[in-house]
Amino acid sequence: MAAALAVWGFFAIAAGEPFRSTAGIAAYSNAAAPLGILAVAVALLMIGGEFDLSVGSIIGFASMSLMLLTTHFDWPLWPAIGAVFVLSALIGLLNGLLVVRTGLPSFIVTLGTLFAFRGLTIALSRHWTGRTQLGGLDSMPGYDGARQLFASDVFGVFRVSIVWWLVLIMVATWVLLRTPLGNWVFAAGGDAQAARSAGVPVDRVKMGLFVVTALAACLVAVLQVVRFTGADVLRGELQEFRAIAAAVIGGTLLTGGYGSAVGAALGALIFGMVQQGIVMTRVDADWFQVFLGIVLLMAVVVNHALRHRALSA
């Protein structure tokens, strides 16, 4: 929270009026929303003690699946959207099953699915269409309805993706802090063995969280495909690391058992502010990465100190 205010304050002064205006706020909120959706889901998974490096690849896979189903296989739009959500949930389930069954670190397992699904996306897309980019979704019947839901604007300059993001933050916060399931997520990541001995179905909780991250990735894919009316096979690249970084900047521990949805959302907002702020201050965009790297390192140091304090009598 303090970090988000500090970054905002910095750019509010450095970039001046454009950064503080409604248009400025919209610019970085819009930029932050897709990452924010991912970061909230990824934070839940990290609190539960696991990583998902495949979310970026799932974005690519879901984006191209939606384009292929509609423009190549002539599926109507809505069933195709339903189908990519089901496919993505199955990928999440696959990640979860692999992690739970093999007992291997999810970092390695989902690194494997990261490559596998990116490769599969490129291979299938070349196989069926000979191309790596597809467009023309807006000529599909039903596009206008989908546009309303996934790509319209609210209050003029804000994208509807922000609404999806806010809803997700609220639901995730409610589940984490107020339901038994949320208690089990903290326990699964805090100490899986102790959680099991208290009767928590740790494996099912973790598999469910992998499905949630995959569904969040799919939602991001659908939001973007509908807005841009097309996709290419590299969609979502590197988003997995940005989502983890946003969660960590927002106070989620890399070691599991602690974190929040609101924190992860603020972490994503910081990404958006830095990105847009650097554009507005007309600093060389290369500095974006440097700045984020520093923010991330500071966050890890602070988290480490807080964790230490929470664990010592």
Q: Which residues bind another protein (CB under 8 A)?
A: 174, 178-180, 183-184, 186-187, 190-191, 193-195, 197-200, 253, 257-258, 307, 309-313
How far apart are alpha carbons 96 and 90 in whole angstroms? 10
Q: Which is nearer to another protein, 13 or 181 (CB)?
A: 181
- Checking DSSP bridges between strand 158-159 and strand 153-154, what pairing results, if any? antiparallel
Nearest-approach distance from CB 179 to another protein, in angstroms: 6
Distance (Å, rounded) from C-alpha 114 to C-alpha 161?
25
Angle at 140 between CA 139 and CA 145, to 5 degrees: 105
Task: Tell me the closest approach of the beta carbon of residue 209 to another protein, in angstroms.
Answer: 17
Between 108 and 198, name the residue whose CB sits nearer to another protein: 198
Q: Which is nearer to another protein, 238 or 311 (CB)?
A: 311
DSSP letter (8 states) at residue 157? T
Cα separation, 64 vs 68, in Å, equals 6
Q: How far is the CB of 43 from another protein (least distance, A)?
A: 15
Instruction: Name the region of 131 (left: φ>0; alpha: ψ -120 to 50; beta: rest).
Output: beta
Which residue's structure tokens are 């208290």?
A: 198
Task: Return d(Cα 181, Cα 201) in angstroms, integer.
Answer: 10
CB of 308 to another protein, least distance (A): 9
How far apart are CB 307 and another protein at their closest, in Å?
8
**Beta-bridge partners for 251:** none
The least CB distance from residue 101 to another protein, in Å, is 21
Complex with another protein: residue 96 or 189, whichever CB lies closer: 189
Instruction: Give CA angle at 265 (260, 216), nearest 5°.
Output: 95
Q: How many CA atoms are closer than 13 Å to the CA of 131, on its beta-carbon side? A: 12
Task: Supply 171's token pair.
Answer: 């639901």
Q: Given the complex with another protein, which of 297 and 310 has the nearer CB atom?
A: 310
Smallest distance, another protein to C-beta of residue 304, A: 13
- Tally Cβ neighbours within 10 Å of residue 310: 10
